[in-house]
């Protein structure tokens, strides 16, 4: 299948979880891939794995919270690939605690990666998309950004903020031929939830009508749609991928 044939995609947080699944899915659809992550060993493994399938994939060690590093990485991608068609703002972290127990360091770190990182990447990539009159920007929000969640003040604030930025950028960039959309995953089985106790995981499953967690591939498939030309008239949307946990 070739829905992304001749397209160049940057995937942040592409070394594991949803980002890795997205890189694999995009490669299957013909995209050339720039994989950004702070996890160098895992990121290089993903790029090598994709290269062995015949895809063009290059890993770049990028901390999206650092604007100067992001700008340098965008320059490197342009040098290596010649263009950027798709930006998947997928990188994110958790530092959970209730309000009274959350430290300033926990709050600031999540904001820097999950919110400022999305701003940094989009600001650096957008001019190259504007120049060509084409682009697809997709960012990871979360259902908790829509409805809140106990013990996640920092995470919820960032994911709500991503939705707000999506709405603004859809208006600002839509006239330039660029769509900007967000995906709001629900309970997804990735490395990020490995530390959650089993009884809490079971309670999460019970909130989903199908009594199961989603997969990284479930989210990757929605990223794919929004990144494709099929979604050319979808702009400023927030699509929940939560199995009906919140309806």
Task: Count CB-CB contacts under 10 A for residue 198.
Answer: 7
Task: Count CB-CB contacts under 10 A for residue 246.
Answer: 14
Contacts of 135 (CB under 8 A, 6+ apart): 84, 85, 86, 87, 125, 126, 129, 173, 176, 177, 178, 179
Tokens of 93: 């972290």
Reading phi first (left if > 0) and then psi (alpha if -120 to 50, else beta), residue 20 is in alpha
Tokens of 144: 């908790």
> pLDDT for 165-188, tens place per residue?
999 999 999 999 999 999 999 988
Catalytic-labelled residue, pool 60, 134, 155, 223: 155
Considering only CA atoms, which of 166, 192, 188 is closest in space to residue 178? 166
Instruction: Evaluate whether residue 204 is within a structural domain.
Output: yes
Instruction: Evaluate whether residue 246 is within a structural domain.
Output: no
Instruction: Evaluate whether residue 1 is within a structural domain.
Output: no
pLDDT at 207: 80
Residues 1/22, Cβ–Cβ less than 8 Å: no
CA gap 76, 223 in Å, rounded: 24
| CATH classification of the domain holding 65 | 3.40.50.720
Length of the chain: 247
Instruction: Evaluate whether residue 3 is within a structural domain.
Output: no
Instruction: Evaluate whether residue 2 is within a structural domain.
Output: no
CA gap 35, 95 in Å, rounded: 24
Instruction: Evaluate whether residue 129 is within a structural domain.
Output: yes
CA gap 191, 61 in Å, rounded: 19
Instruction: Evaluate whether residue 107 is within a structural domain.
Output: yes
Contacts of 188 (CB under 8 A, 6+ apart): 18, 213, 214, 215, 216, 218, 219, 241
The domain in which residue 105 lies consists of 8-241
Give the count of domains, the chain: 1
pLDDT at 247: 59
Instruction: Evaluate whether residue 126 is within a structural domain.
Output: yes
Q: Which residues of the chain have pLDDT under 50?
A: none
CA gap 145, 91 in Å, rounded: 15
pLDDT at 191: 76
CA gap 187, 224 in Å, rounded: 19
Query: Could you confirm whether 155 is annotated as catalytic?
Result: yes
Tokens of 104: 């300033």
CA of residue 54 relative to chain centroid, distance? 24
The helix (run of H) or strand (run of E) holding residue 46 is helix 40-52
> pLDDT for 41-72, tens place per residue?
999 999 999 999 999 999 999 999 999 999 99
């Amino acid at each position: 299948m070739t829905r992304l044939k001749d397209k160049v995609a940057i995937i942040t947080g592409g070394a594991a979880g949803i980002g890795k699944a997205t890189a694999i899915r995009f490669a299957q659809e013909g995209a050339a891939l720039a994989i950004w992550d702070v996890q160098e060993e895992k990121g290089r493994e993903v790029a090598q794995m994709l290269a062995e399938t015949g895809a063009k994939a290059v890993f770049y060690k990028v901390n999206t919270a650092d604007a100067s590093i992001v700008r340098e990485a965008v320059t490197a991608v342009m040098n290596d690939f010649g263009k950027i068609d798709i930006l998947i703002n997928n990188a994110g972290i958790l530092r959970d605690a209730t309000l009274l127990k959350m430290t300033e360091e926990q709050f600031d770190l999540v904001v820097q990666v999950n919110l400022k990182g999305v701003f940094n990447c989009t600001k650096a990539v957008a001019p190259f998309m504007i120049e060509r009159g084409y682009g697809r920007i997709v960012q990871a929000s979360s259902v908790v950004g829509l409805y809140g969640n106990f013990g996640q003040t920092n995470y919820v604030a960032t994911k709500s903020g991503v939705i707000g930025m999506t709405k603004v950028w859809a208006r600002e960039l839509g006239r330039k031929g660029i769509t900007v959309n967000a995906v709001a995953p629900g309970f997804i089985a990735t490395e990020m939830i490995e530390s959650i106790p089993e009884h809490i995981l079971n309670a999460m499953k019970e909130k989903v009508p199908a009594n199961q967690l989603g997969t990284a591939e479930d989210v990757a498939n929605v990223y794919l749609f929004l990144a494709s030309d099929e979604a050319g008239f979808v702009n400023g949307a927030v699509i929940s991928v939560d199995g009906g946990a919140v309806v």
